[in-house]
C-alpha cells in the first residue's frame, strides 16, 4: 500500500474515464473499489493496476438502491471508510431525432445517469457523515453536455444538465457534514464511447466533422487532482477538454 491510504469508489470503472481515474487513484496509493455492471472489465483494470489488494472489484448496478447500498457496505467492510466517490457511471442513447427516441431508451439514460448518480450520492452522504474522521469528497462526471448539447442527444444532455443541479445542491447540503461535492466536465477524451469523433460526428450547423481528441489519462489526472484537495477546498466545476474541439464560441 502506498503512502496515500485514502479510500475511493469509482463507478463505471471498467472502461473509459472510469478506468483512467481508477488507475490514477491506485497509482497514487489509494485503495479503490472498482464498480461496474460487468465483472470481467473490472478484473482487467485491477490486473492492469498491479495494485493487488488495494483494488477491490464489486460488480454494481447503479440503477438499484440495493446494489448501491451493497457497494458502499462492501467498501466499508473491506477498507473501513470512503473518502472519495467518483460518480462516473453513465450511458447515452442512440443518436436519433428526439421525436424518434424510444421511451425505453430515454428511461434507461435517466435511470443510470440521473437516478443512479443520486443513489450513489445519497449512500455516500450516509457513510461519509457518520465515519471518523468525518466527511469526504464526491466528484460527479457531468460532461460538457451539462452546459452545451450536441445534435440528437436529448436524453444524455437532459440528464447531464440535471447532474449540474444535483452537484450544486449536494455541495450545499454537504457543508454541514464536511462533504465536498464537485463536478468534472470532460470534452472529447479518447475512449471507446468517443472514438466516433475521429471519423466525424454531426455538428450544430448540420455538417459532419472530425473532432480532436485528448488522451483519457489526462482526465484521470484531473480526477486525482480534485480528489487530493483538502476538504477545506473544493473544485465545484472543472472542465478538461481537447484544446481544439468545437466547443468554445461557435465551433
The catalytic residue positions are: 156
Structure-block grid coordinates of residue 44:
482487467
Q: How far apart are CA 84 and CA 222, in angstroms?
A: 14
Other C-beta atoms closer than 10 Å to the C-beta of 132 total 7
Dmax (CA) for the chain in angstroms is 54
Residues in a beta bridge with 32:
8, 55
Checking phi first, is residue 143 left (phi over 0); if not, alpha (psi -120 to 50) or beta?
left
In the numeric block, the cell 435517466 is attached to: 110
SS3 of residue 28 by DSSP? coil
> Dihedral angle at the C-alpha atoms of 52, 227, 145, 219, nearest 10 degrees?
-60
CB 60 within 8 A of CB 37: yes
240 phi, psi to nearest 5 deg: -125, 125
Name the nearest CA neighbour of 91 among 118, 63, 66: 63
Contact at 8 Å (CB) between 25 and 2?
Answer: no
Query: Distance between CA 194 and CA 201 in Å, rounded?
Result: 10
Amino acid at each position: 500500500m502506498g503512502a496515500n491510504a485514502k479510500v475511493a469508489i469509482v463507478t463505471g470503472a471498467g472502461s473509459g474515464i472510469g478506468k483512467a481515474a481508477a488507475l490514477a487513484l491506485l497509482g497514487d496509493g489509494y485503495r479503490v473499489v472498482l464498480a461496474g455492471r460487468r465483472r470481467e472489465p473490472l478484473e482487467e483494470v485491477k490486473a492492469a493496476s498491479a495494485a493487488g489488494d488495494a483494488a477491490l472489484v464489486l460488480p454494481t448496478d447503479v440503477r438499484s438502491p440495493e446494489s448501491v447500498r451493497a457497494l458502499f457496505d462492501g467498501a466499508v467492510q473491506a477498507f473501513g471508510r470512503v473518502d472519495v466517490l467518483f460518480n462516473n457511471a453513465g450511458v447515452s442513447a442512440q443518436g436519433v431525432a428526439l421525436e424518434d427516441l424510444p421511451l425505453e431508451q430515454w428511461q434507461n439514460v435517466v435511470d443510470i445517469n440521473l437516478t443512479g448518480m443520486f443513489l450513489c450520492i445519497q449512500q455516500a452522504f450516509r457513510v461519509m457523515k457518520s465515519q471518523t474522521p468525518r466527511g469526504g469528497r464526491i466528484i460527479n462526471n457531468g460532461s460538457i453536455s451539462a452546459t452545451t448539447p450536441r445534435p440528437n442527444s436529448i436524453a444524455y444532455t437532459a440528464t447531464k444538465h440535471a447532474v449540474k443541479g444535483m452537484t450544486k445542491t449536494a455541495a450545499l447540503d454537504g457543508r454541514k457534514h464536511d462533504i465536498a461535492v464537485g463536478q468534472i466536465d470532460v470534452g472529447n477524451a479518447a475512449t471507446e464511447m468517443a472514438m466516433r469523433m475521429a471519423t466525424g460526428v454531426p455538428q450544430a450547423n448540420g455538417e459532419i466533422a472530425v473532432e480532436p481528441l485528448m488522451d483519457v489519462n489526462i482526465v484521470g489526472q484531473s480526477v486525482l487532482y480534485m480528489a487530493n484537495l483538502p476538504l477545506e477546498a473544493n473544485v465545484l466545476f472543472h472542465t478538461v477538454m481537447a484544446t481544439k474541439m468545437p466547443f468554445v464560441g461557435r465551433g
